[in-house]
Structure 1
């Protein structure tokens, strides 16, 4: 929908526009989307039967919401998706500091303008994307940042300290008729949390010893780690009580959802075949289930996303150095990802010194599961026999696909190589090399062939 052309309050009234509260606007748009079968939550995977229904019920009820979950569970993405439930264009008094609705000015300056100009009061149109405000809570966040403070410049102009027009408003008042999201809420100092109490319940603000009555229309959203969101953590109990809904998020429970998140979020500079993304997804899920990993800190979805981007970069690197026609990631590139991603994982204190061993073991497990899922029913006997006869196959980070394929043993009239490639939809040299490399790795993990690796190379025999 294009930006409306209505330019004054008089024209807005004549158009039949009706004032609607923020919560009613969100509720009506949500219910309309659900009744029409539209997905109001694009880009969210794995929450369809758990988190999303709870969020929808909370919004219908008009509640402020806090999302509780470990890092990398999609809390911020869910918060940012909320703006899609707002009207695409919303009228505001042109030039008003808080973006007030033309039918409901709330500051002294806007009320004065409305009285003086009447139906000629000019209006502007604000897009839904400009009605979502986000703040990362940090220990140095001040009351002035979130609520506001006295502006010394306005006082110097001759106004008294008790004059409401001396106030420089903070983020929450400026979010009037919009959504304000505070990430990592418990990281706010306790005095800042106290300052939010009146905003969330009474919808007024207190600054420097006097109360400014502002009928703020704000939906407050927040995210927090469950461990911190307790009275034993860093959140005050009265603020907890102000949120109408506390909703727990989680990591994807299904492999397909994990893969979908990686595909959606990763910015890949080269082709990364589906089976490699699947290995990364299985690897991530294995880390989340490992007793050697500190599960209180979680294993973020960003781990697998960064892994996919790393192996894509490895393929580009190989293409540039070896002159390959296609940049296609291969299983050998997974080792480069593990080398640089280990720092994203927090291990239990008793596992010190075993980190690389744990990562290597879980990556092998994920690879073996993927091999079984894709190559079940294929007879690799002819390839095993060829390798047992003394032939060796070399691959590596800097071994071009054409060189790897040229070094494969001849299997006579067997169509095994074609069968392997067909299973994975591999057609060009890079894809075929990756598919056969995965099969060789699977044979090694099944203890059918041997493998020597080091220095970015692997020799199967």
Structure 2
């Protein structure tokens, strides 16, 4: 920072130009579009739907409202918009509202520039400090967003009519930056009215003062579609002032949901235990979420967040590692028998709609079985497993569960060449024993759900036998 201009005179001499924040973002967005880079990082599944609309909104200089259910990356996209700001921005030193040195709007900054002229000290703020955010709640006040008289400044001897007695709210403190309001419909109507001038006239008024602050702000909001469009919790003039309304959505494909879960899930590291999640188990977890979004037994009004997929994946790995520690194994892969653990991470994230009390667990279990069957049919198919079914004609029973070690699985596979061949094909060359055990359980459970094998289950232990 030592080579940056430190005074207004040095800033003028450097040739730096001041541009409105929307124009600044437009310039940087154009550079990203030209280079083929996404406007926001870490967001998957929106390449053909949401992101083109976001690009249009930024290039057009529009204020934006994102409409979508929970867990659709609305907040992440909003916070990522700071990446479209210049990395550093000069302000009048000490300014509370990031005053432009070439055109200060607050009284203290104007007085300082008038007094010091080209010797006015300049500070540089990082783009991360040009972002403000407020979660809308019913108790949010105009003072929080716009500002209020500071009684301490009045007590110091200033007159109430003096502009210097004002304490600026969150919106003016984000001048020359991005201000976000999450869950916009939760703002009371009188507070929504206070935002009208910010969105259209670009100024604020505080307590009837003859104060006009021409703010330079990009306003971004998020809302649930039902609250925004149907219940009338947004006043019509406020809706009219947003230039862009962008609908978000849940992942349209299982592969996208898997990629998001792999990206967002916290790494689970335990000394002495190496955990690997086979691709088919990731697909089961993601397919479960997708089926829940289509189920009439799950409330779609509250949505089925992608966070469900992420937390279920984390729980699946945790249960597998716990099993490995108890069995004294140093390598582990989640199996179908670990899916029972997902009840705890699922029930708090979905709203089950049932006419009968206590059926929540049954509905979740049914969806998990459907997910396993979908993945089994996609990866194996019932026809390819005919030899496995025939191998059970001898009346033998195959036990699986939490207390069965990887070595036990290998021994059972050696006894059943048909099952071993199918596991090798599913797991791939070079798969470790833990992954092969997981593949074996998928095949066995898939055959049971396809009504090709019988299954007797007691707790975390199960036995497969011929029908």
Normalising by structure 2, we get a TM-score of: 0.92
1:432 aligns with 2:431: no
Q: Distance in 1 between matches of 2:177 and 2:408?
A: 59
Q: Structure 1: which 5+ runs fail to align?
A: none
1:248 equivalent in structure 2 = 247
**Preserved contact between residue 72 and residue 248 of structure 2 (Cα < 8 Å):** yes
1:22 equivalent in structure 2 = 21
**Preserved contact between residue 69 and residue 249 of structure 2 (Cα < 8 Å):** yes
Residues 105-116 of structure 1 correspond to what in structure 2 (within 5 A)?
105-116=104-115
**Preserved contact between residue 135 and residue 183 of structure 1 (Cα < 8 Å):** yes
Q: Distance in 1 between matches of 2:295 and 2:141?
A: 40
1:421 equivalent in structure 2 = 424
Q: CA deviation at 1:395?
A: 2.2
Residues 264-275 of structure 1 correspond to what in structure 2 (within 5 A)?
264-269=263-268, 270-275=275-280
Residues 180-195 of structure 1 correspond to what in structure 2 (within 5 A)?
180-195=179-194
Q: CA deviation at 1:378?
A: 7.0
Q: Distance in 2 between matches of 1:154 and 1:192?
A: 25
Residues 48-447 of structure 1 correspond to what in structure 2 (within 5 A)?
48-230=47-229, 232-269=231-268, 270-348=275-353, 350=355, 352-376=357-381, 379-408=384-413, 410-411=415-416, 414=417, 416-425=419-428, 427-447=431-451
Q: CA deviation at 1:287?
A: 0.9
Taking a change above 3 Å as real, the CA distance of residues 400 and 206 of structure 1, as seen in their structure-2 partners, is farther
Q: CA deviation at 1:342?
A: 2.0
Q: Distance in 1 between matches of 2:424 and 2:130?
A: 50
Q: Distance in 2 between matches of 1:112 and 1:79?
A: 35
**Preserved contact between residue 382 and residue 447 of structure 2 (Cα < 8 Å):** no
- SS of aligned partner of 1:365: helix
Q: CA deviation at 1:415?
A: 6.5
Q: Distance in 2 between matches of 1:142 and 1:20?
A: 31
**Preserved contact between residue 332 and residue 435 of structure 2 (Cα < 8 Å):** no
Q: CA deviation at 1:302?
A: 0.8
Deviates most, 15-24 or 263-272: 263-272
Q: Distance in 2 between matches of 1:18 and 1:454?
A: 73
**Preserved contact between residue 388 and residue 418 of structure 2 (Cα < 8 Å):** no
1:448 equivalent in structure 2 = 452
1:459 aligns with 2:463: yes
The one-character-per-residue Cα deviations of 1:376-421 (angstroms, maximum 9, x if unpaired) are 487333432333323222222343323333344603xx36425423
Alignment RMSD: 2.0
- SS of aligned partner of 1:380: helix
**Preserved contact between residue 132 and residue 180 of structure 2 (Cα < 8 Å):** yes
Q: Structure 2: which 5+ runs fail to align?
A: 269-274
**Preserved contact between residue 63 and residue 243 of structure 2 (Cα < 8 Å):** yes
Q: Distance in 1 between matches of 2:14 and 2:342?
A: 59
- SS of aligned partner of 1:32: helix
The one-character-per-residue Cα deviations of 1:53-88 (angstroms, maximum 9, x if unpaired) are 112111111111111111111111111121111112
- SS of aligned partner of 1:176: coil
Q: CA deviation at 1:41?
A: 2.2
Normalising by structure 1, we get a TM-score of: 0.94
Q: Distance in 2 between matches of 1:422 and 1:198?
A: 65
Taking a change above 3 Å as real, the CA distance of residues 400 and 143 of structure 1, as seen in their structure-2 partners, is farther
Q: CA deviation at 1:454?
A: 2.8
Taking a change above 3 Å as real, the CA distance of residues 148 and 353 of structure 1, as seen in their structure-2 partners, is same
Q: Distance in 2 between matches of 1:416 and 1:456?
A: 22
Taking a change above 3 Å as real, the CA distance of residues 140 and 280 of structure 1, as seen in their structure-2 partners, is same
Q: Distance in 2 between matches of 1:240 and 1:54?
A: 18
Q: CA deviation at 1:320?
A: 2.1
**Preserved contact between residue 268 and residue 308 of structure 1 (Cα < 8 Å):** no
**Preserved contact between residue 311 and residue 345 of structure 2 (Cα < 8 Å):** no
Q: Distance in 1 between matches of 2:441 and 2:3?
A: 58
Q: Distance in 1 between matches of 2:102 and 2:236?
A: 37
Taking a change above 3 Å as real, the CA distance of residues 420 and 234 of structure 1, as seen in their structure-2 partners, is same
